[in-house]
Amino acid sequence: MISPAAGLIGIGYEGRSVDGLIAELRAAGVSRLVDVRLTPISRKPGFSKSALAKALNAAGIAYEHRRELKGDR
């Protein structure tokens, strides 16, 4: 379960399905996911930028890609 602090949480997608991720985000009351991956692509189905944005949008969660927020590799 996600535990938001000060309105900001961090979450990874390792071991999750898109539906599972969305369920956790909704349960935590998340309204926007900010993707900080340098290159928002994934071999894992549903986690590439456009597919993830579409699934989140359908669930009422905004998607924003902000690679500049990512720290050093």
The type of residue at 2 is I
The CA-CA-CA angle for residues 21, 27, 30, to 5°, reads 75
Grouping H, G, I as helix, E, B as strand and the rest as coil, residue 34 is strand
Cα 30 to Cα 60: distance, rounded to the nearest angstrom? 10
DSSP character at residue 50: H
- Predicted confidence (pLDDT) at residue 4 exceeds the cutoff of 80: no
Global pTM value: 0.83
Q: What is the pLDDT of residues 32-59, one digit of tens each?
A: 999 999 999 999 999 999 999 999 999 9
How large a percentage of the chain has pLDDT more than 70?
88
